[in-house]
């Protein structure tokens, strides 16, 4: 019985997330789908407003729909959204001084990681070389001691 209630609640939540929008022409529908896949949900982790079930994403989808119905172009809608929410609302923000961290941050972290791996490998290799040299020194000392002991036994 608990499983059935869970499934009904899950199904009702999934049905709630579906947006049914009526468009006057195919061009508006294509613009709507394009815009909702270009705009980021501001409360979700790495989701577009088309993919998100959050209330804010639903509000943004509704707002995009209404703006298209009013005759605004996709460029005007994007300009409005970025003016209101900043470049973060764009799923692929443009490269600017303000967004340089978003674009260059991963490269910086990758470079630091590669340098650390290189340093670690080099350090481990040097330790192995030092250990081999130490072992060679020990063997030389042992050989010298043996030779000295043999000489002492002769005399």
Least confident among 31-35, 75-79, 144-148: 144-148
Phi then psi dihedrals of residue 138, to 5 deg: -60, -40
Asked whether the beta carbons of 42 and 89 are under 8 A apart, the reply is yes
Structural domain count of the chain = 2
pLDDT at residue number 9: 54
Asked whether the beta carbons of 76 and 63 are under 8 A apart, the reply is no
pLDDT at residue number 2: 61
- Same domain? For 34 and 86 the reply is yes
In a domain, 7, yes or no: no
Residue 112's domain comprises 97-155
Cα distance between residue 93 and residue 40, in whole Å: 10
Asked whether the beta carbons of 41 and 48 are under 8 A apart, the reply is yes
- Same domain? For 131 and 147 the reply is yes
Q: What is the pLDDT of residues 62-113, one digit of tens each?
A: 999 999 999 899 999 999 999 998 888 888 878 888 778 877 888 999 999 9
In a domain, 3, yes or no: no
Whether the pTM exceeds 0.95: the reply is no
- Same domain? For 89 and 28 the reply is yes
pLDDT at residue number 15: 41
């Amino acid at each position: 019985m608990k499983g059935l209630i869970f499934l009904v609640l899950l199904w009702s939540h999934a049905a709630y997330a579906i947006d049914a929008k009526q468009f006057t022409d195919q061009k508006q529908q294509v613009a709507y789908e394009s815009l909702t896949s270009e705009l980021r949900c501001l409360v979700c982790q790495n989701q577009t407003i088309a993919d998100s079930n959050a209330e804010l994403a639903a509000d943004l989808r509704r707002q995009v729909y209404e703006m298209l119905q009013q005759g605004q172009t996709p460029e005007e809608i994007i300009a409005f959204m970025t003016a209101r929410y900043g470049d973060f609302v764009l799923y692929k923000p443009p490269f600017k001084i303000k967004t340089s961290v978003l674009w260059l941050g991963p490269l910086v972290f990758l470079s630091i990681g590669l340098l650390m791996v290189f340093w670690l490998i080099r350090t481990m290799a040097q330790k192995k070389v030092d250990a081999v040299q130490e072992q060679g020194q020990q063997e030389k000392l042992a050989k010298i001691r043996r030779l000295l002991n043999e000489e002492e036994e002769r005399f």
